[in-house]
């Protein structure tokens, strides 16, 4: 899909996030920099801890969506609870690169939104493929009501599909998909 790849966060990708995302923020007006800079610093600091072999990251499993030019376009927060009583891989969140986010936009460019949805779909599908192969259960967290609406639309669609290869249901704000 669009030449993207899905790679666990490493030193090289962290360096690219640090440099390229910083450059994109610094190209924005001062007011925008003031808004985004603390989040950028917090994200980079968090990623530095993740790649530091002396730091414990628990079940957290950070991945990056990389485009065909090798540029990081999204940071994906997963947990890999494969040793838990109920093993699963969980999709917690996705942080898009600064020029793709909606924070500072006043209108919707449908073409840009379509590209962003492609990145999100690639991240979710990649994580789903790993989960189904490794632990056979995948969960996605719906932090806002809009994404929970997406889950409900998906479940409604899936219920009408007689050849479903997995069970899919909602558990509070989580969408759960289990291989049959």
Partner 1 sequence: MESVAHFENIFREALESVLLGMDCADLKKIHWLVWDTDCCEEESADFAEAA
d(CA 76, CA 85): 24
Residue 64 CA to residue 101 CA, distance in Å, equals 16
Which candidate, 114, 22, 24, 130, places its Cα nearest to that of 76? 130
Euclidean distance between CA atoms 97 and 137, whole angstroms:
28
Report the nearest approach of partner 1 to the CB of residue 124 (Å). Answer: 6
| By CB under 8 A, residue 55 contacts partner 1 | no
Q: Is 167 in the site for partner 1 (CB under 8 A)?
A: no
**Sheet strands (E) in the chain:** 5-8, 60-66, 72-81, 88-96, 137-141, 166-171, 174-179
In this structure, are residues 152 and 171 in contact, taking their beta carbons and an 8 Å threshold? no
Give yes or no for residue 9 binding partner 1 (CB under 8 A): no
Q: Decide if residue 92 touches partner 1 (CB under 8 A).
A: yes
Answer for which of 70, 121, 167, 169 binds partner 1 (CB under 8 A) is 121
State the nearest-atom distance from the C-beta of 58 to partner 1, in Å. 8
For partner 1, the binding residues (CB under 8 A) are 35-36, 38-39, 42, 45-46, 58-60, 77, 79, 81, 88, 90, 92-96, 98, 101-103, 105-108, 110, 113-114, 116-117, 120-121, 124-125, 128-129, 132, 139, 141, 143-147, 149-151, 153-154, 157-158, 161, 164-166, 174, 177, 179
């Amino acid at each position: 899909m669009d030449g993207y790849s899905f790679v666990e966060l490493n030193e090289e990708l962290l360096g690219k996030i640090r440099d390229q995302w910083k450059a994109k923020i610094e190209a924005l007006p001062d007011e925008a920099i003031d808004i985004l800079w603390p989040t950028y610093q917090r994200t980079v600091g968090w990623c530095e801890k993740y790649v530091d072999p002396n730091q414990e990251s628990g079940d957290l499993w950070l991945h990056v969506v990389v485009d065909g030019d090798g540029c990081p376009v999204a940071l994906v927060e997963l947990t890999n609870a494969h040793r838990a009583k109920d093993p699963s891989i969980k999709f917690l969140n996705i942080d898009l690169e600064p020029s793709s986010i909606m924070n500072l936009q006043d209108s919707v460019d449908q073409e840009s939104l379509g590209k962003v949805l492609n990145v999100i779909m690639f991240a979710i599908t990649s994580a789903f493929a790993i989960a189904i192969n490794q632990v056979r259960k995948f969960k996605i967290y719906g932090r806002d009501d809009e994404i929970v609406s997406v889950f409900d639309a998906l479940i409604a669609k899936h219920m009408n599909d007689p050849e479903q290869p997995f069970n899919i249901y909602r558990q509070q704000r989580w969408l759960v998909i289990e291989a049959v």
